[in-house]
Amino acid sequence: MTNVERLTVDLSEYPDLVVIYLGMRVRTWAGLRTLLGFGPKIEDSARRKPDGLLAHEYMVYSLFPPHAGMRQYWRDFDALERWARSEPHRIWWQNFVRDSGGTGFWHETYFIRGGMEAIYDDVKKSIGFQIFAPVKAAHGAMFSARQRWGSHMGNSQR
């Protein structure tokens, strides 16, 4: 019998660590083309190592319907937010919000200092937090990730 090698990590150098899970689920045949079209764009973006991105991993959530995504580790929320508001991500997001291309997109963000936030765009079957938490329209105070996170944490935690 062999003992299992158990390891852990020291996250003390990352006091503001943010982990984000992202996913895209195909809803129509056209969505398959949308999903496959984003792959090379995301790969190129991660390869450029934006400031604050510590690690980027791909994930497959299901094969039918096709549902793929990634997990990213960011030094802090400011770095993640800066990247999300810069080119090319800003353009991808604006285009997606106009037309989801037969897919549903979501992300869930977890903060080492506490709090979580999520968005689900054109996701027709509940996943993640949607399975157990009340669902609200993402308008007004619930529009941006920072606002969603802040609505749960209060001003002192942001």
Q: Which of 106, 97, 96 is nearest to 131 (CA)?
A: 106
pLDDT at 28: 96
Domains parsed from the chain with CATH numbers: 18-153 (3.30.70.100)
Whether pTM > 0.85 for this model: the answer is: yes
Residue with tokens 């990213």: 72
Helices (H) and strands (E) in the chain, counts: 4, 5
pLDDT tens column, 8-63: 999 999 999 999 999 999 999 999 999 999 888 888 888 999 999 999 999 999 99
pLDDT at 88: 87
Instruction: Report helix, strand or coil for 158.
Output: coil
pLDDT at 153: 55
